[in-house]
């Protein structure tokens, strides 16, 4: 790619989160950056879109970088839609989302606002990558991630991605890494435990908690890679059809 690519940056932790500020600084080295991100945290929003409410979006300045920035009242998926349709005037060459404060590996991909932005971009035909760090701390150290983010991003710009595929990149909580490992999504889930409480008015309410359970012993999974200090890279598709099961279904008595 000769001329500088146009890069859309978004996230789900909100536009002031240290994770997205790091991602913006890396992207400024690679292309012309426009940021369209939520004005408040949107973690756990999955692929939510705002259809029954109004959306606000305004230009703001957060630091002295060359990027252009907009904050929106919408979800991460809304931000991508707004950017493409109202702000950029053309399809960007790349969309990056993150760096998420917390894991989006294995089954977390389906709950992830970070990945929903990447998937939304993919649906619209834009090459896209979601980046996440396995550290929920607001003050996590994102510095060691920068060189890997740049390397993966330049690979995507150079090689492209097939239609219908985006990348899900997760970093272990570490300062040095064994390298980047291409993986499949581990078969894992959350075993919920609700914390049941009573409010001052006597009304019962719950907090969602739970324990992450990896049932997958494979050494080709993202969970294995992360547990062994590798950066995991999973190609993610949004054709959810379980093609292998179609023939069997055709034998049902329907």
Annotated binding site for a divalent metal cation: 12-13, 43, 100
How many CB atoms are closer than 10 A to CB 101?
A: 25
In DSSP terms, which residues pair with 190 in a beta bridge?
Answer: 212
State the minimum distance, in angstroms, from the CB of residue 9 to a copy of itself. Answer: 19
- Rounded CA-CA distance 119/97 in Å is 10
Nearer Cβ to a copy of itself (66/211): 211
Annotated binding site: 12-13, 43, 100
State the minimum distance, in angstroms, from the CB of residue 218 to a copy of itself. Answer: 11
Nearer Cβ to a copy of itself (64/90): 90
8 Å CB contact between 13 and 41: yes
Antiparallel, parallel or unpaired: β 128-133 and 231-237: unpaired
Nearer Cβ to a copy of itself (139/199): 199
State the minimum distance, in angstroms, from the CB of residue 102 to a copy of itself. Answer: 10
Please list, in sequence order, all residues whose beta carbon lies within 8 angstroms of the beta carbon of residue 191, skipping any fewer than 6 positions away.
210, 211, 213
Please list, in sequence order, all residues whose beta carbon lies within 8 angstroms of the beta carbon of residue 59, skipping any fewer than 6 positions away.
68, 69, 70
In DSSP terms, which residues pair with 40 in a beta bridge?
Answer: none
DSSP SS3 for 165: strand
8 Å CB contact between 69 and 62: yes
Nearer Cβ to a copy of itself (173/187): 187
**Burial grade of 241 (CB within 10 A; 0-12, 13-18, 19 or more):** exposed
8 Å CB contact between 130 and 167: yes
Nearer Cβ to a copy of itself (63/151): 151
State the minimum distance, in angstroms, from the CB of residue 162 to a copy of itself. Answer: 6
State the minimum distance, in angstroms, from the CB of residue 134 to a copy of itself. Answer: 17
């Amino acid at each position: 790619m000769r001329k500088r690519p146009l890069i859309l940056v978004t996230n789900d932790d909100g536009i002031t989160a240290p994770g997205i500020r790091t991602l913006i600084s890396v992207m400024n080295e690679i292309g012309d950056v426009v940021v369209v991100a939520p004005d408040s945290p949107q973690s756990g929003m999955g692929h939510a879109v705002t259809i029954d409410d109004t959306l606000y979006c305004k230009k703001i300045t957060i630091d002295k970088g060359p990027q252009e920035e907009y904050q929106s009242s919408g979800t991460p998926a809304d931000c991508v839609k707004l950017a493409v349709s109202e702000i950029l005037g053309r399809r960007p060459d790349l969309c990056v989302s993150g760096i998420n404060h917390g894991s989006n590996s294995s089954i977390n991909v389906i709950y992830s606002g970070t990945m929903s932005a990447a998937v939304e971009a993919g649906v619209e035909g834009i090459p896209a990558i979601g980046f996440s760090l396995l550290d929920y701390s607001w003050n996590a150290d994102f510095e060691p991630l920068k060189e890997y983010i740049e390397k993966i991003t330049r690979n995507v710009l150079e090689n492209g991605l097939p239609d219908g595929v985006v990348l899900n990149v997760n970093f272990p909580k570490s300062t040095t890494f064994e390298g980047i490992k291409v993986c499949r999504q581990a078969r894992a889930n959350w075993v919920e435990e609700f914390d049941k409480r009573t409010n001052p008015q006597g009304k019962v309410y719950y907090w969602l908690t739970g324990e992450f359970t990896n049932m997958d012993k494979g050494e080709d999974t993202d969970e294995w890679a992360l547990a062994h200090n590798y950066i995991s890279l999973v190609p993610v598709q949004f054709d959810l059809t379980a093609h292998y099961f179609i023939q069997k279904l055709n034998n049902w008595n329907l």
